[in-house]
């Protein structure tokens, strides 16, 4: 798919805009001519277009929508899996009620398209050989995945009842520099540690023979751009482009690129998400291809050198 010229007056609200994916999506949309409103509860280092607002605060959202003409929403705000299990009430308010609030605003203020950052965890644990498609039954195993599935079903109800152009993108493990994760720091470290001149260790919790589905944050941002610019997406749910990587091969490639690094593996199996995914629906409709993770790692290592 060729990226279309953007109406310079088109305004997109990105929720979770200060997060890892949100920042990348916002920057890419701005480069393509959109006016971006970045909404988050994080107040630090606010820039132009950044707004501090909680998606659970319906009154504050309504004031925002009355003040701004919003043409599209990229909804990324969420309490992530570990925190959701630890604080289920907060997770329910943010992940479900916050999404309900935003869809109500989209309905009331006639927002053209609502793009939801969903997760491959909606499928739950799958056998190692199973290649998951959008036609496979979703069977989430935790609060996070269950909330993603519920919001997808809610979006379908709003589409049928109110005509909202709701589209969901089911994403795998997002990697790249700057993720800032405290529970899976390796997703950033595999890029950031390539520049180290002194010995360092990266811990990846999975077994050597395991497969994990990974996608670079820049590819994720580009997929959101394509969904936003498509005249009319053919489907309401898409598996995001992901690469099924053998953990042991990832370890060896990182250590090859920087011999000062050591990657320590755990013995964990992949639970709560698939190991392989068919994303030909998105690739075929939009002509999209991801950049292989090893190619990105190699480019990052060359850049540091």
Whether 11-173+215-239 shares its CATH topology with 175-212+243-278+285-304 is answered: no
CATH of 11-173+215-239, one of 3.40.50.720, 1.10.10.10, 3.40.50.2000, 1.20.1050.10: 3.40.50.720
> Which of 100-109, 148-157, 253-262, 294-303 is predicted with the least confidence, judged by mean pLDDT?
294-303
- pLDDT band with cut points at 50, 70 and 90 for residue 2: very low
The pLDDT tens digits of the residues spanning 7-23 come to 557 999 999 999 999 99
Question: pLDDT tens digit string along 161-190?
Answer: 999 999 999 999 999 998 877 778 999 999
Per CATH, the number for 175-212+243-278+285-304 is 3.90.25
Torsion of CA 27, 285, 234, 37, to 10 degrees: 0
Answer left, alpha or beta for residue 45, where phi above 0 means left and psi between -120 and 50 means alpha: left
Q: CA-CA distance, 257 to 269, in Å (whole number)?
A: 26
Buried b (16+ CB within 10 A) or exposed e, 101-120: bbbbbbeeeebebbbbbbbb
Q: How far apart are CA 19 and CA 179, in angstroms?
A: 8
Domain extents in the chain: 11-173+215-239, 175-212+243-278+285-304
């Amino acid at each position: 798919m060729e990226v279309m010229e953007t109406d310079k007056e088109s305004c997109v609200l990105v929720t979770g805009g200060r997060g890892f994916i949100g920042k990348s999506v916002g920057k890419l949309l701005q480069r393509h001519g959109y006016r971006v409103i970045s909404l988050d509860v994080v107040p630090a280092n606010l820039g132009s277009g950044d707004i501090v607002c909680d998606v659970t605060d319906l009154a504050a959202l309504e004031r925002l929508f009355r003040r701004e003409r919003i043409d599209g929403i990229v909804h990324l705000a969420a309490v992530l899996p570990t925190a959701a299990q630890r604080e289920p009430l907060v997770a329910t308010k943010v992940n479900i009620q916050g999404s309900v609030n935003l869809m109500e605003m989209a309905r009331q203020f006639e927002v053209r398209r609502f793009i939801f950052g969903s997760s491959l965890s909606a499928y739950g644990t799958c056998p190692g050989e199973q290649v998951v498609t959008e036609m496979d039954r979703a069977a989430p195993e935790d609060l996070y995945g269950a909330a993603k599935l519920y919001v997808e079903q809610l979006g379908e109800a709003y589409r049928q009842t109110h005509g909202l152009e709701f589209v969901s993108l089911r994403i795998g493990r997002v990697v790249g520099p700057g993720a800032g994760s405290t529970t899976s720091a390796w997703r950033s470290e595999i890029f950031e540690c390539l520049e180290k001149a002194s010995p360092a260790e990266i811990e990846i919790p999975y077994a050597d023979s395991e497969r994990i589905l990974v996608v670079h944050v820049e590819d994720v941002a580009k997929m959101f751009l394509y969904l936003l610019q498509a005249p009319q997406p053919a489907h309401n749910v898409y598996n995001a482009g992901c690469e099924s990587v053998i953990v042991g091969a990832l370890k060896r490639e990182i250590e090859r690129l920087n011999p000062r690094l050591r990657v320590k593996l755990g013995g964990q199996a992949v639970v709560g998400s698939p190991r392989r995914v068919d994303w030909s629906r998105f690739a075929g409709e939009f002509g999209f291809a991801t950049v292989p993770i090893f190619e990105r790692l190699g480019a990052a290592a060359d850049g540091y050198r």
